[in-house]
Structure 1
Amino acid sequence: MAMLGLLVAAAFCLASANAASLGVVLTEGGMVEGKTYSVSGLFRYMDVFLGIPFAAPTKRFEKPEPHPEWSGVLMAKKYKSRCMQMNLLQSGIRGSEDCLYLNIWVPHGRTLSTDLPVMVYLFGGAFLLGGAQGANFLDNYLYDGEQIANRGNVIVVTINYRVGTLGFLSSGDSKAPGNYGLWDQHAGIAWVHRNIKAFGGDPDNITVFGESAGAAGVNFQLISPHNKGLIRRGISQSGVALCPWAINKNPRAFAEQVRPISCILVENCKIYKTVVLCMGSSCMMNCFSDQYPIVHNLVLSPVVDGDFLPDEPGKLFVNAADIDYIAGVNDMDGHIFTGLDVPSVNQPIWPTPVDDAKLLINALTRDKGEQGAEMAYKEYTASWGDKPSKDEIKRTIVELETDYIFLVPTQTALYQHASVAKTGRTYSYLFSQASRMPGFPSWMGADHADDLQYVFGKPFTNLLAYWPRHRDVSDYMISYWTNFAKTGDPNTGESKVPVHWPTFTTSDHQYLDINHKMNSNSVKQKMRLRFVNFWANVYANLPNVRDS
């Protein structure tokens, strides 16, 4: 036994001595040093750099500026603070205005990696909340890039960007044009392009991926002319630039609502230097309206500023003609909103009154008035019959909000990309792995953000919290995502996939249904075509009755 112990110790020391590590890396701002550790797999190691500045501390309501050089070696071993924002309870603030930092995961084998594909992640949070490390439980950060990097043999980067008023408040003119959060994302991507070679990455093979607001951010980055030559591919999970919450078409009106609090935008009071963040209940009423449904409250979002977005997003997809693009949704993405708009949906015993469905439809279709509401109600209740079941009504309401908020805009964006694509390939997916949240009804599918745990490999880091089928789903998604980052084809790369994923074209609209039971039947066509056609064509062509 003593001899065995000595052999094990010797093997460990030998492995440690031979561990591939970048050590100190020279970047444009100076030298940085991260941390190195072994990961699962034979002779597999990971270099991690946390908290590298990619821009200077922000100036309020101004674009990010280059970070001044530092002397000595910067210790990049801890996450930096997220950007300043309201806390989850909306009762105070958290974070810092010195927040433009990024994190990097670099996998190695026996030797140092070179020319690896790079995957840059943009977090979600309705453009109001979030940070590059994600939620944390006992130092298990949601957006830890280790599993993607190791299993897919890619470099993973996560980026901070400004959110809320400091990221997206706009006067609607040149005084405070907005989109500061999008400029932050752009600055981070540009930094990666300039510096990632020193970390073993290929600057000409950058894939930007994100979820929810981060997914819309991906789409905005792909179609903005400012990113020409920086991005090779993009993946949007549950969000695109065409979503109804992704663009604020009347930013001035909202800015004037907060004017009494912050002396803002319309008078000579140096608004963009002295604006006060919304803090406490006395200010919250000025910052967020009490509109129904919840989606209509998401007004701190990007704007058409004539610069980063020189035109309406739908007219800018030509800028992504040579970029490969994956976009998709969770099959019940809208449930997160429906649970707030119609609470009875989550009560398995109590029925949801039909009138609740009518109220929700009236609210969602207010711009088209009574005609739009009547047509939408008829479309979504066509299969009900005289006596719809309790679950049928609840599920229909969730599907309604899923279609309106996520699915239809995503399908429209895919069609837009495919119709202008030159060398860029287009792929569509539906994520349908049922939610693991306790207490949800039996008919529940994948809620908003349910996909994140699988993309970031949590079933492999928290073995006791997941079943083998969950590890299968995680393996599938990491394989498709990282193959795509390598080659532009999710089927081709170092990782084996369960089903061949065909491209989405303007004629057949094929998509992949992702869950733990994947087989040849997982390839489908024309996702919810009837409802996509209703919203994108029939409803869109009705005359407006009010200014939204």
Structure 2
Amino acid sequence: MMAMLGVFMALALILGTANAVSLGAVYTEGGMVQGKNHLVGIFRYVDEFRGIPFAAPPGRLQKPVPHPGWDGVWDATDYRNRCMQMNLLATDVVGSEDCLYLNIWVPQGSTVSTDLPVMVFIYGGAFLLGSSQGANLLDNYLYDGQEMADRGNVIVVTFNYRVGSLGFLSTGDADAPGNYGLWDQHAAISWVHRNIRNFGGNPDNITIFGESAGAASVNFQILSPLNKGLIRRAISQSGVAICPWAVNRNPRQYAEEIATKVGCPTDSGMAACLKMTDPSALTLAGSLGLSSSASSPIVHHLALSPVIDGDFLPGEPETLFGNAADIDYIIGVNDMDGHIFATLDIPSINNALASTSVEEVRSLSIALSESRGIDAGIATFDQYTFNWGSNPSDADIKKTVVELETDYIFLVPSQAALYLHSDHAVSGRTYSYLFSEPSRMPVYPLWMGADHADDLQYVFGKPFSTPLGYFPRHRDVSQYLISYWTNFAKTGDPNSGDNSVPVTWPEFASSGHQYLDINSSMSSSSVKQMLRTRLVYYWTTVFASYPYVNKN
């Protein structure tokens, strides 16, 4: 019987290959493009286009401009260079200035798809690193959109944008105003809006989604008036525009530091000199010393980020949520998003043989609270340690550090953004989630939850594309996320669409500011409310009441 079934399966695959449904060459505003067609199941295919230019090679420290176009058919079968950036050790550079390319995955069934929802992904990397394809192991790219496209029946788009000095250096004036990476993102979204119908997509149903700096970028994009009419929905995974690392408040200071490193003046000739400087040297100069400690946390060293330029961002992010009043928005965090940052600031967090001292927690509390002074730092320490008792365990101390960094860097700003979006919403719906599937890293402590970026492997369906690396429960949580995300892209309601979901996810403001706790063991108890209310209140009200301290 099994042998006969195998014969039928093989015959179906052969017939499917022989009659592949494909877009073939596609017309875009720049010219024709030709990708590849993949058989992914019985009479199911995905057209994949890699490396389509959405803008011309950009000028240094200048906004992107349209691509001039090409003759013939563009070969869209391979990823293009990532944008120039430091390597992980900040010792050299990788990538190219010619990097503004995007990738598209289009699911096909028995006929060519039309009018599909479109999901455009923005990668993270602290505005310093990242690429449209993501990390790669044996040609298995993290941001490969095939699984999401096929399982969710949506078009998936990823793209490059400039990072580091070349993407976010700003002199604080019109000579080099900054935000080039945000302008790249806007150019990619605009290109998709103008061209995606030829790929079978609906230009009036575009959802942008992103993680970390990409999640904050999603928020910036829906807040900017320049995107009015381009974006229908948005998802921010672990990051919003009001995170403490998302806006550079001292762009001139950092520009002068970079200029000094590369031998440029810091007067009126600075911008002209920087634009003529070797791009590799400019990129390396943007490291700005990324070492950290409990008294000097890494989050305060992430200086190359967006600025309030009066153009792309005409005002403070908190004042711009009215621009997103008609955009459906999902915002969420991982329950231990701050872990990766905590381990950089206090390395003993992951070392079972080394203890973390109370004094390190005190130093970190004061350092994270520096904008409001020493009294606020002591108050922060008291808030996070009041339930320790007289003799806290080492595990309790370490978990407190992770909670403190998670709240400050991600969770509290995300909660504030949820309130702002919900309060300003007209037709836009608001949804909140907490992702809590425990990390798969074997070296992490037993108490570990979901670390920063742990959600990405599930959103992009890695438990299905690389099944030997995962357990069945991981495929469950991956299917849950793909179903919620793609249903939301189709209808604005994560519960309503082609895919069934394990639990009905209520809107944030429907009753008591509800959120969905997403993991592999979901039930009716996964719907919760008032996420970490006491500490959200502390940061947004009590902490904020302390007078601002200008450390400069």
Partner of residue 549, structure 2: 545
Other-structure match for 1:312: 316
How far is the alpha carbon of 1:222 from its aligned partner? 0.5
For structure 1, which runs of at least 5 residues remain unmatched after alignment? none
Q: Answer yes or no: is the 8 Å Cα contact 1:322–1:421 preserved in 2.
A: yes
Instruction: State how far apart, in whole Å, the 1-side matches of 2:527 and 2:413 are.
Output: 21
Alignment deviations for residues 150-186 of structure 1 (CA, whole Å, 9 cap, x no partner): 0000000001000000000000111100000000000
Secondary structure of the structure 2 residue equivalent to 1:532: helix
Q: Distance in 1 between matches of 2:522 and 2:8?
A: 44
Shift of 1:214: 0.3
Question: Residue 423 of structure 1 corresponds to which residue in structure 2?
Answer: 427
Equivalent pair of 1:107/1:150 in contact (CA under 8 Å): yes
Counterpart of 2:416 (choices 397, 412, 421) is 412
Alignment of 1:15-414 (within 5 A): 15-40=16-41, 42-262=42-262, 263=264, 266-268=267-269, 270-277=272-279, 279=281, 283=285, 292-414=296-418
* Distance (Å, rounded) in 1 between the aligned partners of 2:549 and 2:459: 42
2:449 corresponds to 1:445: yes
Is the partner of 2:373 in helix, strand or coil? helix
Cα separation, 2, equivalents of 1:446 and 1:288: 24
Letter paired with 1:24: A
Runs of 4+ in structure 1 deviating by more than 4 angstroms, as ranges, are 2-13, 277-291
SS in 2 for 1:540: helix
Contact preservation (8 Å) 1:18, 1:110: no
- Alpha-carbon deviations, 1:220-258, whole Å to 9, x = none? 000000000000000000000000000001100111111
Quick one: structure 1 residues 280 and 352, their matched pair in 2 at CA, closer, same or farther if it must change by over 3 Å?
A: farther
- TM-score, scaled relative to structure 1: 0.96
Query: Structure 1 residues 273, 149: CA separation in 2 closer, same or farther (over 3 Å shift)?
Result: same
* 1:59-106 residue CA offsets vs partner (Å, 9 max, x unmatched): 001100000010000010000000000011111000000000000000
Contact 1:257/1:287, CA 8 A, preserved across alignment: no
The residue identity in structure 2 corresponding to 1:406 is F
Give the 3 Å change call, closer, same or farther, for CA 245–9 of structure 1 in structure 2: closer
Q: Which amino acid aligns with 2:513?
A: H
The answer as to whether partners of 2:503 and 2:522 remain within 8 angstroms in 1 is: yes
| 1:344 CA drift (Å) | 1.0
CA contact (8 A) 1:261 1:276 kept: no
Distance in 2 separating the partners of 1:53 and 1:366: 44
Question: What's the CA shift string for 1:467-503, capped at 9, x where partnerless?
Answer: 0000000000000000000000000000000000000
C-alpha displacement of 1:345: 1.1
Cα distance change of structure 1 residues 164 and 324 upon mapping to structure 2, 3 Å threshold: same
Paired amino acid for 2:394: K
Is residue 90–residue 280 contact of structure 1 (8 Å, CA) maintained in 2? Answer: no
Tell me if structure 2 keeps the 8 A contact 1:415–1:506.
Answer: no
Shift of 1:8: 7.5
Native 8 Å contact 1:278 1:287 kept in 2? no
Q: Measure, in 2, the Cα distance between the counterparts of 1:3 and 1:392.
A: 58
Cα deviation 1:184-230 (Å, max 9, x = unaligned): 00000000000000000000000000000000000000000000000
Q: Give CA deviations for 1:289-335 in whole Å, capped at 9, x if unaligned.
A: 86710000000000000000000001001000000000100000000
Letter in 2 for 1:273: K
Q: Which amino acid aligns with 1:339?
A: T
Name 1:517's counterpart in structure 2: 521
Q: Return 5+ residue gaps in structure 2 as ranges.
A: none
Q: CA 1:395/1:43 → structure 2, altered by over 3 Å: closer, same or farther?
A: same
Maintained 8 Å contact 2:24/2:35 = yes
Q: CA deviation at 1:438?
A: 1.3
Q: Which amino acid aligns with 1:75?
A: D
Query: Which 10-residue stretch deviates more, 315-324 or 373-382?
Result: 373-382
How far did residue 281 of structure 1 move? Answer: 12
Q: Aligned residues, how many?
A: 547
- Cα distance in 2, alignment partners of residues 338 and 105 from structure 1: 36
| Displacement after TM superposition at 1:347 (Å) | 1.4
Does the C-alpha gap of structure 1 residues 293 and 36 become closer, same or farther in structure 2, counting only changes over 3 Å?
A: same
Alpha-carbon offset, residue 7 of structure 1: 8.0
Quote the Cα distance in structure 2 between the aligned partners of 1:260 and 1:524: 51
Q: How does 1:420-499 map to 2 (within 5 A)?
A: 420-499=424-503
Cα deviation, residue 261, structure 1 = 2.9
